[in-house]
Amino acid sequence: MTLSVARGTHDDEEGAQDGPRIAVADARPAWSPGGEVLYFTTTRPGWGPFAVGAVSADAKAVRLVTPQGYDTPAVSSDGGNLLVVSLYLHMYKGGTNYCLVDVETGRMRQVGSPRREYSDLAFGRSKGELVFARRAGSRQHPDIYALRLGANGEVEEEWNVLRDSEYAMRPVVSPDRKWLCYALMEGPSAYALKVCRWEGKQAEQLRLLGRFEDLGTIHWMADSKRVFVHTRPGPLIIDIAGGERVDYKQYLQDQGKLDRELLQRTVEFAPSVDGSGRVACGLSYVTEDDLYFHYLAVMDFDGGNFRFLTREAPKMLPYPFKEVQQEFSVVDALKLVNPEDG
């Protein structure tokens, strides 16, 4: 989904956007490896346009992980780091706009060189390895690359993982670290989805999983045998061996466990990778007074045991720092806020 500053935030300014005013927008969920925590992008009054938050799976604890100006969290395979997009770096510094956040200490650092851009950066197969899309040399389209970070965040090594004939993007590594799924933009509203076996430096292209009019977020299922993709007209689960597809919204409707209204309002899904079969989902509402709400919830794979997370969770602490810096500790901002603490 797309979040933007909607009408009502700056109503007096020329060029204000039409549409409902954003009251709460918690979106882009990403699970910790053990399924205990759900990270997400949020925009709420007092927090600035964007920040990354975290809520426990039981909705009893919630926290801010970054100050305002950070977006789209991804979680490392050991759960120790987040990869976030820095809107501040992208707008004012140029070059790479990604930062690593240490979950235990809150330390944030810019990834790689500020003079080089990395698109669709994601965690790789091992600690310190990242995968991304980049155009290099005389190539007309981006290819998939990987890099290895040193202890201080410097790039020690960078190499090409695979080349394709079209615009490669959105690489995602499987939970078992053996497979790489990525998208190709073949033209306006024309996308292809491919999967590769990745051993050593280069990945071996195996098969095309399908072509789509639109292609959004790509998630791996916990078994590393299926991918979950957001497409038009809806979310699909695709088996990487045989290519069989399951229309996930139709599956939920057939199961009959999720309330029809909730199913209609659900616009994004993120399956957990801990083997529990839980799925995070986002639900959108527009009230009669033109206010937009988007909350995150969790449910079983078949739609059972549905419960809200961010709607029921307590309020988050405001971020304590006045300026966004590249190296700083945010330990104080990572304190959990429990209901009994008020």
Q: Are residues 103 and 122 in the same domain?
A: no
* Structural domain includes residue 256: no
* Structural domain includes residue 13: yes
- Residues 314/338, Cβ–Cβ less than 8 Å: yes
Q: Give me the pLDDT at residue 97, please.
A: 81
Q: Give me the pLDDT at residue 323, please.
A: 42
> Phi/psi class of residue 8: alpha, beta or left (left: φ > 0; alpha: ψ in -120 to 50)?
left
Residue 193 structural domain: 118-243
* Structural domain includes residue 107: yes
Residue 164: count other Cβ atoms within 10 Å of its Cβ.
Answer: 16
For residue 147, the SS3 value is strand
Q: Give me the pLDDT at residue 28, please.
A: 94
* Structural domain includes residue 32: yes
Amino acid at position 71, single letter: D
Distance of CA 197 to the CA centre of its chain: 23
For residue 28, the SS3 value is strand
Q: Are residues 235 and 130 in the same domain?
A: yes
Q: Give me the pLDDT at residue 340, please.
A: 33
Picking from 243, 278, 306, the residue at the C-terminal end of a domain is 243
For residue 80, the SS3 value is coil
Q: Are residues 88 and 152 in the same domain?
A: no
Residue 333: count other Cβ atoms within 10 Å of its Cβ.
Answer: 19
Q: Are residues 20 and 39 in the same domain?
A: yes
Q: Are residues 112 and 122 in the same domain?
A: no
Show Cβ contacts of residue 20 under 8 Å, excluding neighbours closer than 6 positions.
Answer: 6, 7, 8, 286, 290, 291, 292
Q: Give me the pLDDT at residue 154, please.
A: 80
Picking from 243, 269, 296, the residue at the C-terminal end of a domain is 243
Q: Are residues 107 and 161 in the same domain?
A: no
What is the number of structural domains in the chain? 2
* Structural domain includes residue 140: yes
> What is the number of alpha carbons within 13 Å of residue 69 lying toward its C-beta?
18
71 bridge partner residues? 85
For residue 70, the SS3 value is strand
Q: Look at residues 303, 307, 306 and name the one whose alpha carbon lies nearest to residue 255.
A: 303
pLDDT digit string (tens) for the chain, length 342 residues: 333 333 333 233 333 446 678 778 899 999 999 999 999 998 876 555 688 989 999 888 888 888 888 899 999 999 999 999 887 765 555 555 888 998 887 888 888 765 667 889 999 999 899 999 988 777 778 899 999 988 777 889 999 999 887 899 999 999 999 999 999 999 888 999 999 999 888 898 778 999 999 999 999 999 999 999 999 879 999 999 999 999 999 999 999 999 999 999 999 999 999 999 999 999 999 988 888 889 999 999 999 999 999 887 766 655 544 444 433 333 333 332 222 333
Structure tokens at 318: 């405001």
Structure tokens at 253: 């409707």
Q: Are residues 132 and 175 in the same domain?
A: yes
- Residues 141/133, Cβ–Cβ less than 8 Å: no
Q: Are residues 123 and 238 in the same domain?
A: yes
Please give the backbone phi and psi of residue 82, each rounded to the nearest 5 degrees, phi first: -110, 145
CATH of the domain at 184: 2.120.10.30
